[in-house]
Structure 1
């Protein structure tokens, strides 16, 4: 059997291709070797879904955020090996997953707008160019953490509409001290900041919330898309929950920026499953 994973910082989509062609699926927590050790990932991977398959899985294809360097890939492989002792394991970057799922065998630009953000220029076979992914403190423009961070900054400085501020207090019971504790003292601050995006999306009819996404997407275009050669003549594709659930704002921002948006999907896991089925 084959195990496929598409992992971001907040969640991981798992698919199993059984010998009879049946496909089973599971959604679990996210993994990012930039912010987690191999040991921490191994502990979280030891859930019932994976452990119950430990003797049956023969091949693993793991696509993950933060898996761009050989060192990070080795850390993820090590975590998987604690469960799957005899499986062949291949770890690749989540950009490869985005490119395979949205561009297929054609050239284009593939982007990730989830908890974090990233992008690449793809020639139909290989990734030929990327932009720096500076992480949740120095980058992640367009991603949920970036949007959530601006929202929380505006909350602390009382620079948002009163009705949005009151609604946030009623829903999350947040204060400046609670926010700072989660951001500076608790684990996974990027997940925490991104967690406010559902609320912002639900209120995107309000000009303030709409503007949070619109301006964030424009920042992403400036740091990423505008720097790819001939970007105006290439289809630009997006994967990730932020892009998917705010696709109306994303398409508007892209149109204003002269960018041709092709596909917007929430997760590349379905495309990846088809891709690996074809290799059987």
Structure 2
């Protein structure tokens, strides 16, 4: 049995199947980010899932693509967890940018991720190369769910958010200061907490204030990340993966157009394309 996992910080999509001809079984758990969670926490997410546990003895190969898996230390951490949960399986662990690449292209391209976090890389047809380090939600992650969550919270507490939006915002979320501070500074996954606020942005996207926040965030992502690959983009396409990029497609296209750029594809959930790619590459028999 083959197991494929595509994990962000918020959620992880798992797909189980016996062969390329069998119908896949889809499972969703919390995200497994080794840069944020400890080994015990990572293992618990897997072991607490009934479906994964029931099939654990049947899994022989695992392809895991995840946020935070960008160093040998983090990859080894995940591999150890997978080995302890799926004792008969061999595993391959790659960072989430490789999943984004597999989900969008087989040829050279610039590929962006805009989900809970954000990232951008150049794929030369064989390997990925990043021109800027990914320092996570505290410093970077422009245009991501947690970035917009921070912007909305600041706009609310600074009273910059229009009153009609502040009223709805307070009704939709628990905004007691002590609770927000606790979630931000005592939670194990503050990036996930922040990203939860992003839905409010898209639910009210027709409001000029929300459009301004969205456009400014995406403009920063283009400026700080995509334009680092201006030379490469003279000859290769530009792809986007992740829920934020999918829902903000029109805004991103407008911002790119002003710079003479164009997005080739916008993939909300890379897992489906990832399955087909792995099948086509004959990694699954």
The corresponding residue for 1:137 is 138
Is contact 2:131–2:228 with CA below 8 Å preserved after alignment?
no
Cα drift, residue 229 of structure 1: 4.6
Is contact 2:3–2:59 with CA below 8 Å preserved after alignment?
yes
Cα drift, residue 181 of structure 1: 2.0
Cα drift, residue 231 of structure 1: 4.3
Specify which of 69, 74, 77 is matched with residue 76 of structure 2.
Answer: 74
Rounded to whole Å, the distance in 1 between the matches of 2:176 and 2:29 is 29
Which ranges of 4 or more aligned residues in structure 1 deviate by more than 6 Å?
A: none
Cα drift, residue 77 of structure 1: 0.9
Task: Confirm or deny that 1:86 pairs with 2:88.
Answer: yes
In structure 2, runs of 5+ residues without a counterpart are: none
Segment of structure 1 superposing worse, 112-121 or 17-26: 17-26
The corresponding residue for 2:36 is 35
Cα distance 1:128–1:187, how it changes in 2: closer, same or farther (>3 A)?
closer
TM-score normalised by the chain length of structure 1:
0.96
Task: Confirm or deny that 1:52 pairs with 2:65.
Answer: no
Cα drift, residue 124 of structure 1: 2.0
Structure 1 residues 221-232: aligned runs within 5 Å: 221-232=222-233
Rounded to whole Å, the distance in 1 between the matches of 2:131 and 2:102 is 15
Cα distance 1:93–1:173, how it changes in 2: closer, same or farther (>3 A)?
closer
In structure 1, runs of 5+ residues without a counterpart are: none
Specify which of 235, 238, 241 is matched with residue 236 of structure 1.
Answer: 238
How many pairs are equivalent?
279
Segment of structure 1 superposing worse, 29-38 or 246-255: 246-255
Cα drift, residue 241 of structure 1: 0.7
Rounded to whole Å, the distance in 2 between the matches of 1:131 and 1:61 is 26
TM-score normalised by the chain length of structure 2:
0.94
Rounded to whole Å, the distance in 2 between the matches of 1:178 and 1:255 is 41
Segment of structure 1 superposing worse, 23-32 or 230-239: 230-239
The corresponding residue for 1:150 is 151
Is contact 1:231–1:259 with CA below 8 Å preserved after alignment?
no
Task: Confirm or deny that 1:216 pairs with 2:221.
Answer: no
Cα distance 1:171–1:129, how it changes in 2: closer, same or farther (>3 A)?
closer
The corresponding residue for 1:195 is 196
Cα drift, residue 185 of structure 1: 2.1
Q: Deviations over 1:159-184 (max 9, x none)?
A: 11111111101111413333222111
The corresponding residue for 1:246 is 248
The corresponding residue for 2:9 is 9
Cα drift, residue 16 of structure 1: 1.3
Is contact 2:83–2:90 with CA below 8 Å preserved after alignment?
no
The corresponding residue for 1:256 is 258
